[in-house]
């Protein structure tokens, strides 16, 4: 049975603070908000992936620490898959525009998944979005091989022939926007205030 997984971590150098600790208008953190969305989408507590997960006192589900042979998102995803968790819908914590509707659309794509990985494709992108994608247990072998070869970028680690990349419907494209800087966070909070 598929399960959600929230990916936290990273250096947050451009943002200046850990992204999962950013506060929303209602007082919850961005991490809590996305964790709750994944809980709603799957009806179970999501995994929390990453070494920064220990400071997330709002987590009720399992915490999976990074595979320390690697760095970046592949480290958390591979660690979860190697523990037998999968398939997983992995969501990065820097996507504050994400909605339940969009998560359910990604989840629905799993019904036709015939490859180890599914990355929703946005217009004009060279490859699908790996940080809002589905990873099956068979993807672990692919990622483990990449890590052994010091390949840590997901788009290089997972060969094209191992990916399904359905086009994102136009109405859902804005939900895939991420925030990496204080200016981008400010823009998000301005939009949230208006809505």
For the entire predicted model, the pTM comes to 0.92
From first to last of its 195 residues, what are the pLDDT tens digits of the chain? 899 999 997 666 676 677 888 888 888 989 999 999 999 999 999 999 987 655 678 888 898 988 888 888 999 999 999 999 989 999 999 999 999 999 999 999 988 778 999 999 999 999 999 999 999 999 999 999 999 999 999 999 999 999 999 999 999 999 999 988 888 888 888 776 666
Contact 90, 131 (CB under 8 A): yes
C-alpha pair distances (Å), 32 with each of 21, 95, 103, 131, 179: 9, 12, 16, 17, 16
What domains does the chain contain, in order, with CATH numbers? 3-194 (3.90.550.10)
Strands 163-164 vs 47-49: parallel, antiparallel or unpaired: unpaired
Name the region of 41 (left: φ>0; alpha: ψ -120 to 50; beta: rest).
alpha
Best CA proximity match to 50, nearest among 63, 59, 39 = 63
pLDDT for 194 equals 64
Tokens standing for residue 74: 């592949």
């Amino acid at each position: 049975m598929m399960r959600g997984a929230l990916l936290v971590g990273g250096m947050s150098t451009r943002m200046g603070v850990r992204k999962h600790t950013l506060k929303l208008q209602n007082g919850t953190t961005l991490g809590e908000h996305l964790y709750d969305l994944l809980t709603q989408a799957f009806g179970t507590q999501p995994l929390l992936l990453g070494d920064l997960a220990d400071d997330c006192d709002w987590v009720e589900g399992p915490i999976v620490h990074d595979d320390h042979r690697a760095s970046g998102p592949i480290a958390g995803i591979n660690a979860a898959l190697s523990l037998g968790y999968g398939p997983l819908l992995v969501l990065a914590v820097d996507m504050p525009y994400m909605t339940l509707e969009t998560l359910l659309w990604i989840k629905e794509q799993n019904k036709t998944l015939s490859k180890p990985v599914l990355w929703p494709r946005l217009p004009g992108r060279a490859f699908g979005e790996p940080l809002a994608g589905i990873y099956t247990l068979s993807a672990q072998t692919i990622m483990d091989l990449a890590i052994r070869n010091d390949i840590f970028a997901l788009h290089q680690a997972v060969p094209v022939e191992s990916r399904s990349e359905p086009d994102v419907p136009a109405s859902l494209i804005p939900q895939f926007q991420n925030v990496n800087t204080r200016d981008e966070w400010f823009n998000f909070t301005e939009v949230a205030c208006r809505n």
